[in-house]
Amino acid sequence: MTDAQSLNVLVWGENRHEQIEPHVAEIYPDGMHGAIAAGIRENLPAAQVSTVTLDDPEHGLTEEVLAATDVLVWWGHAAHGEVRDDVVERVHRHVLDGMGLLVLHSGHWSKIFGKLMGTSCTLRWRSEEDRELVWTVDPTHPIAQGVPNPIIIDQQEMYGEFFDIPAPDELIFISSFTGGEVFRSGCTFKRGHGKIFFFSPGDQDFPVYHHEHVRKVIANGVAWARTVRPERTTPTLLRYESGEFFTGHGYTGAIKESE
Amino acid sequence: MTDAQSLNVLVWGENRHEQIEPHVAEIYPDGMHGAIAAGIRENLPAAQVSTVTLDDPEHGLTEEVLAATDVLVWWGHAAHGEVRDDVVERVHRHVLDGMGLLVLHSGHWSKIFGKLMGTSCTLRWRSEEDRELVWTVDPTHPIAQGVPNPIIIDQQEMYGEFFDIPAPDELIFISSFTGGEVFRSGCTFKRGHGKIFFFSPGDQDFPVYHHEHVRKVIANGVAWARTVRPERTTPTLLRYESGEFFTGHGYTGAIKESE
Amino acid sequence: MTDAQSLNVLVWGENRHEQIEPHVAEIYPDGMHGAIAAGIRENLPAAQVSTVTLDDPEHGLTEEVLAATDVLVWWGHAAHGEVRDDVVERVHRHVLDGMGLLVLHSGHWSKIFGKLMGTSCTLRWRSEEDRELVWTVDPTHPIAQGVPNPIIIDQQEMYGEFFDIPAPDELIFISSFTGGEVFRSGCTFKRGHGKIFFFSPGDQDFPVYHHEHVRKVIANGVAWARTVRPERTTPTLLRYESGEFFTGHGYTGAIKESE
Amino acid sequence: MTDAQSLNVLVWGENRHEQIEPHVAEIYPDGMHGAIAAGIRENLPAAQVSTVTLDDPEHGLTEEVLAATDVLVWWGHAAHGEVRDDVVERVHRHVLDGMGLLVLHSGHWSKIFGKLMGTSCTLRWRSEEDRELVWTVDPTHPIAQGVPNPIIIDQQEMYGEFFDIPAPDELIFISSFTGGEVFRSGCTFKRGHGKIFFFSPGDQDFPVYHHEHVRKVIANGVAWARTVRPERTTPTLLRYESGEFFTGHGYTGAIKESE
């Protein structure tokens, strides 16, 4: 898992706008997930990058697939509600076990992001071709390397504060928009043994996932989100006797049997 | 809501150990919730402190009750699974709207805490009469006022790291135990418009909720967790036109109708 | 110190622009410190608010004055280098002991702020009448109460990222400017027993300290920065024998005498 | 700088206890800095690890040496006051420019750590052969890899809370001691473009720097503290015209010349 050549990335795409809206299909002929995957391959040539979509069986997110995924990248928007709850539970468990997760743009309102954050993940928005400037506020962070400060995105949907998320562990990027709004656009969170990066640039109506620097940030995020732990393990409640630090015992119930 | 006399506190108790285990009933003749409530009244005499339990209709947590509650205090252990999911959803919404929440001790594994944290909230534990020392690491925090450093609790269940929670917004207390384990025992989190304080001391097998300093910390936490916002509001996703900062428009769907 | 009527606030003003530049004197006929003090009095009528300036003996910051000050508010710009190092040491010690500190606008480059932060506190800037929008990202924070989101300041100097400060304990406000820059404009820090609030709006060339909402935020910051600890004490290195938690012994040197 | 083979590490040792106290010389025949350097070489065989000491000209910390150092490791105790202020300024500048810094054990009271933290960095202590247990609270952090949870150190000086530091950016380790004290023993901080890791285990009276896991953590810290930025640059205050995001202008004074 410390070998760059073994990095397995899975891009999950909702793939609905591309089917329904011709202007989206025109911008993203290989699907948005296709463009996102291409950007990762471009920047991390040794990575194995696959794509699955909502309409695949189990949304393409079977136990086997997730177990073999180092970092999952999530883009959804119009069909968050169609994602099965049992699949969300499964993804959630894999994140707590150590799978990395990138949540992109409108994924802020996905079930999996809400479940990991515990908040409403709501925000203010407007889709009117604002220019977005993405400013770095944590210049030593690996995710901020190799891009200018600011990144200039000529046309973008506006996302603005208040963004109802927990205070991020690290705030890397803050965006401004033509209308004057600001947004915490690059945030990291650790949950369980998993590392999560939320990055807001990206929209179905604009060619943001073809943008060189947006692609670079996403690839940086993927590289960062891969756990450095040697194996994936589930955080577990265990009993430890006094002086016994390394061998825990499983839970046997809240009420003592003898009572 | 800024008037101390109007502070409405609701202590939720599972109230099962007290019914089943005579030694718990002996330590807590008014129930654990009764002892917790008494400690809050003792330290915040102007507060209105009520108690409800799991076996009350809707666990005592109706919409009306929650709407009138400034701060909810939660103690559960043996019956987390019996708490209805719809009631958990309701409590969760009220926290995001601005209701304060204290989660005590074994409440770490309650549905509501897990839903707000997004993690497994697991830990290591041992119930063998360890001495717990509760050390202050944030001496200017209002929750740490009026208690010695450390607080000495002669007999306690051990809770140890790794405690699978998000990095807290503020780490106020760290505990050690006779066996040498440590625990982040006093943590604050903001979620939505709500303020949350987790405090780990407290157990059914030991008279911890009769401890003067534990009571003081819980009362401090209650006072801190009451929101200073003038009214409770739900974080909401709204559209704002350019130049229109104060009047948002409700969501009308992800796919534009005209397309 | 918990009685609002005893809140002693001291506004420190450099008072040079007002003397040298007629257009500043016109905007601030009572000095910038005078306008800042008036805004605090307006919002905290029970507070005792005084002003001192650079040209006062010991810059007005004698041991006696600082010992009687709950919260010090600092505005400087053109003459940071003239502030005596021994006075900076004295202010620093009082902050670590528990005196609250507000650092306003160009105070980011003051000796006292640099000494407390440990960084260069540099930033990008432009003084060209940008409009500043001050967005709240921590809506439950007491400092963010009573002001609109965003606060609109029609004319302001631009301050932009990267702002070289430690990651703040709490990020309350993020500003945007007409030119598209963003800035972490409202940040809190705890250092020693002291609470520090940095708030960037405010400039000698624009009437920002006459702005109703800027005044409200500054007053909120003053109220927040006052310590809740019962007395001011210096963090001290002390030796504690085993089992002796409350009585420490003073330092007697790094090398044991008997050796 | 991204090539592991080019990692240049400099261990700074005070080297006084070893000269004055025979029992220290016996534990550390190559000096404490020698033992620390050996542990880094052992775990990072491709790194170039050098040592310098207080008694070297300019304490071994000339401009040329610092410019060629990726990560500086600092151990001092008895002679903090003898470190020249101009050398401290130089080290401070290099940290803000991007040099990594590890501060070990009693280095908490060094001039450079105090200057970077802005606080008193005081704590409680006792040197009586306590056992220290070092618990991991951030299991996904690279610094926590390859060591057991807890690390067991049979004999150690006690360091306890309250440790007067800013809230760390990341809290990785918390220690407990036989006497029951706790300590935030592994903390990271970013300052300017530099990354700082404080790790408290290690003392002149005990063979802590021969401990396998302590050595591993220090080596992990070195690898982590090396910046990922492509070059070292000083955070600088610059003026940017509207619409000009990438070319700043130097500061020309606080008072406009024409006025």
Residue D145, both tokens: 């890899």
Q: With beta carbons less than 8 A apart as the criterion, state whether A12 and A65 touch.
A: no
Over residues A42-67, the pLDDT tens digits come to: 999 999 999 999 999 999 999 999 99
Chain B residue whose CA is closest to D170: B167
Look at residue B255 in the predicted model and tell me its pLDDT. 67
Q: Do B125 and A239 touch (CB under 8 A)?
A: yes
How near does any CA of chain D get to the CA of A145, in Å? 7
What are the start-end ranges of the H helices in chain D? 17-20, 22-27, 31-43, 63-67, 85-97, 111-117, 212-225
Look at residue C129 in the predicted model and tell me its pLDDT. 85
Residue B250, both tokens: 């409700």
φ/ψ region of C201 (left if φ > 0, alpha if ψ in -120 to 50, else beta) reads beta
Site from C93, C234, C242 to mutate, D interface, most D CB atoms within 10 angstroms: C242
Per-residue confidence at D256, pLDDT binned at 50, 70, 90? low
Minimum-distance CB partner of A135 among C131, C150, C182: C182
**What is the share, in percent, of chain D residues with pLDDT greater than 90?**
92
Residue C58 is part of a domain; what is its CATH number? Answer: 3.40.50.880
Over residues D91-108, the pLDDT tens digits come to: 999 999 999 999 999 999
What is the distance between the alpha carbons of residues A48 and A196, in angstroms, rounded to a whole number?
A: 19
**Is B139 touching C (CB cutoff 8 A)?**
yes
CA-wise closest residue to D203 among D120, D148, D128, D151 = D128
Q: With beta carbons less than 8 A apart as the criterion, state whether A146 and A182 touch.
A: no
Look at residue C257 in the predicted model and tell me its pLDDT. 45
DSSP track, B207-223:
-GGG-HHHHHHHHHHHH
Chain A residue whose CA is closest to B162: A235
**Interhelix angle for D31-43 vs D212-225, to 10°?**
70
Query: Which DSSP helix (H) or strand (E) runs through C64?
Result: helix C63-67
**What is the share, in percent, of chain B residues with pLDDT greater than 90?**
91
Residue C91, both tokens: 């202010």
Q: Do D255 and C21 touch (CB under 8 A)?
A: yes
The distance of Cα B253 from the centroid of its chain, to the nearest Å, equals 36
Is residue D239, in this structure, part of any structural domain at all? no
Hey, what's the torsion of the CAs at B36, B39, B41, B42, to 10 degrees? 170
Look at residue A17 in the predicted model and tell me its pLDDT. 96
Greatest C-alpha distance within chain A: 69
Look at residue A239 in the predicted model and tell me its pLDDT. 94
Q: Do D17 and C243 touch (CB under 8 A)?
A: no
| Structural domain harbouring D58 | 4-234
What is the distance between the alpha carbons of residues C231 and C214, in angstroms, rounded to a whole number?
A: 30
* 3-class SS of residue C122: coil
Q: With beta carbons less than 8 A apart as the criterion, state whether D196 and D116 touch.
A: yes
What is the distance between the alpha carbons of residues B94 and B209, in angstroms, rounded to a whole number?
A: 26
Is residue A56, in this structure, part of any structural domain at all? yes
Chain D residue whose CA is closest to B130: D180
**Is A141 touching C (CB cutoff 8 A)?**
no
**Is B3 touching C (CB cutoff 8 A)?**
no
Over residues D115-156, the pLDDT tens digits come to: 999 999 999 999 998 999 999 999 999 999 999 999 999 999
Q: Is B16 buried (19+), middle (13-18) or exposed (0-12) by CB count in 10 A?
A: buried
Is residue C259, in this structure, part of any structural domain at all? no
Is residue D255, in this structure, part of any structural domain at all? no
Over residues B94-130, the pLDDT tens digits come to: 999 999 999 999 999 999 999 999 999 999 999 998 9
Q: Is B226 buried (19+), middle (13-18) or exposed (0-12) by CB count in 10 A?
A: buried
Query: Tell me, what's the ipTM?
Result: 0.95
Look at residue C250 in the predicted model and tell me its pLDDT. 86
Which residues in chain A show pLDDT less than 70? Answer: 1-5, 255-259
Per-residue confidence at B186, pLDDT binned at 50, 70, 90? very high
Q: Which residues of D205-243 are buried (b: 16+ CB within 10 A; e: fewer)?
A: bbebbebebbbbbbbbbbbbbbbbbeebeebebbbbeee
Look at residue A255 in the predicted model and tell me its pLDDT. 67
Per-residue confidence at B180, pLDDT binned at 50, 70, 90? very high
Could you tell me the end-to-end alpha-carbon distance of chain B, in angstroms, rounded to an integer? 47
Query: Which DSSP helix (H) or strand (E) runs through B51?
Result: strand B48-53
Residues ≥6 apart with Cβ < 8 Å to C110: C74, C76, C80, C83, C103
Look at residue D5 in the predicted model and tell me its pLDDT. 53
Over residues C107-124, the pLDDT tens digits come to: 999 999 999 999 999 999
Write out chain A residues lying below 8 Å of B166, CB-based: 166, 169, 189-191
Which residues in chain C show pLDDT less than 70? Answer: 1-5, 255-259
- Write the DSSP symbol of residue D147: S
Mean pLDDT score across all residues of chain D: 95
What is the distance between the alpha carbons of residues C188 and B39, in angstroms, rounded to a whole number?
A: 32
In total, how many domains does chain B have?
1
Q: Do D126 and C240 touch (CB under 8 A)?
A: yes
**DSSP bridge partners of D122:** none
Residues ≥6 apart with Cβ < 8 Å to D126: C239, C240, C241, C242, D157, D158, D160, D179, D181
What is the distance between the alpha carbons of residues D230 and B237, in angstroms, rounded to a whole number?
A: 40
What is the distance between the alpha carbons of residues A122 and A107, in angstroms, rounded to a whole number?
A: 11
Q: If you count DSSP H runs as helices and E runs as strands, how many of each does chain B have, helices first?
A: 7, 10
Is residue A156, in this structure, part of any structural domain at all? yes
Over residues D196-247, the pLDDT tens digits come to: 999 999 989 999 999 999 999 999 999 999 999 999 999 999 999 999 999 9
Write out chain B residues lying below 8 Å of A16, CB-based: 255
Chains meeting C at 3+ CB pairs closer than 8 A?
A, B, D
Is residue A255, in this structure, part of any structural domain at all? no
Query: Which DSSP helix (H) or strand (E) runs through C93?
Result: helix C85-97
Over residues B210-221, the pLDDT tens digits come to: 999 999 999 999
**Interhelix angle for C212-225 vs C31-43, to 10°?**
70
Is residue C246, in this structure, part of any structural domain at all? no
The neighbour count for residue A83, using CB atoms within 10 Å, is: 20
Is pTM beyond 0.95? Reply is yes
Q: Do D138 and A230 touch (CB under 8 A)?
A: no
Look at residue C1 in the predicted model and tell me its pLDDT. 40
Write out chain D residues lying below 8 Å of B149, CB-based: 161-162
Q: Do C98 and B140 touch (CB under 8 A)?
A: yes
In this predicted structure, the answer to whether residue D1 has a pLDDT above a threshold of 80 is no
What is the distance between the alpha carbons of residues B230 and B2, in angstroms, rounded to a whole number?
A: 8
Write out chain D residues lying below 8 Å of C126, CB-based: 239-242
Chain A residue whose CA is closest to B189: A166
**Is A169 touching B (CB cutoff 8 A)?**
yes
The neighbour count for residue B121, using CB atoms within 10 Å, is: 22
In this predicted structure, the answer to whether residue B251 has a pLDDT above a threshold of 90 is no
Residue A182, both tokens: 């600001």
Please, what sign has the CA dihedral across residues D26, D32, D33, D37?
positive
Look at residue B43 in the predicted model and tell me its pLDDT. 98
Taking a contact as any Cβ pair under 8 Å apart, which residues of chain C between 6 and 65 contact chain D? 16-17, 20-23
In this predicted structure, the answer to whether residue D259 has a pLDDT above a threshold of 50 is no
Q: Is D127 buried (19+), middle (13-18) or exposed (0-12) by CB count in 10 A?
A: middle
**Is D162 touching C (CB cutoff 8 A)?**
yes
What is the distance between the alpha carbons of residues D122 and D195, in angstroms, rounded to a whole number?
A: 21
Cα distances (angstroms) measured from residue C140 to each of A14, A162, B97, C40, C172: 34, 11, 10, 21, 9
Look up residue C50 and give its amino acid: S
Site from B176, B177, B181, B184 to mutate, D interface, most D CB atoms within 10 angstroms: B176
What is the distance between the alpha carbons of residues C33 and C51, in angstroms, rounded to a whole number?
A: 7
* 3-class SS of residue A195: strand
Is residue C258, in this structure, part of any structural domain at all? no
